[in-house]
Amino acid sequence: MPSINNKIIWITGASSGIGEAVAYELSEKNCKLILSGRNIEALEKVKSKCNCEVAIVPFDLADFDNAQSNTKKAIEAFGKVDVLINNGGISQRSLLAETDFSVDKKLIEIDYLGTVAITKAILPHFIQNQNGHFVTITSLMGKFGSPYRSGYCGAKHALHGFFDVLRMEHQKDGIDVTLICPGFIQTNVAKNALTADGSKQNTDDNATQNGMPVGVFAKKFVKAVERNKFEAYIGGKETIGVFLKRFFPKFLHYYVLRSKVR
């Protein structure tokens, strides 16, 4: 099993939640970290709690035009990047028929296109080094759907298609791809989720509150990356949905409809 110790790792969405917890976990493994997100003050706070060398490269995932320049800054921080953790994104809690199209567009721009832009910007660096690892945090919603998350599910499903192809085309270049699919994790993902008009929900839900502690998730995340898994499903009983989707899709359909999903 390859070790992640001493790697240079770039994390997007590192100012809170999963990105923050993963940063702390990796800091205990003597990694050098590059932290990105929109909130500079929050990134500085995360940096202060890390026990390793940390650089900060703030940017907005929706700022596609500066993907190349932001990637250049990240590479220059320590001279190279070994691993890119695509974690930045936003969720959704609204019925499809009530959701303004601008919300669907924003979800695609941030969760899918923003990640693709940064990935394609750093890909030549990985090819030149004949080494690199893309770790993309999607969701169980990238494997099956749920009410109130139509645009979010669409964006996360798209990530799976893109990175499966990237793995196929660039395995020859020494590049690895791992897709991490969290279930319910104790973060502010529900509070920050977009509603029908694009405003934040600002309330939590029981499933998220009772989900896996984010620190536990971070440990499982690192193990999955070190094992170079193609995909890893991390959470509670909700992870069985991946199996049901493949073998019993109608059963999953009615099971989800009977479940409390918000």
Spot the catalytic one: 112, 148, 152, 233. Answer: 152
Tokens of 27: 């800091």
SS3 152: helix
End-to-end Cα distance, the chain: 38
CB atoms within 10 A of CB 255: 13
Angle between the N-to-C axes of helices 150-170 and 114-129, in degrees from 0 to 180, rounded to the nearest 10: 10
Is 152 considered catalytic here? Answer: yes
Contact 252, 258 (CB under 8 A): no
Contact 80, 125 (CB under 8 A): yes
Active site residues: 152
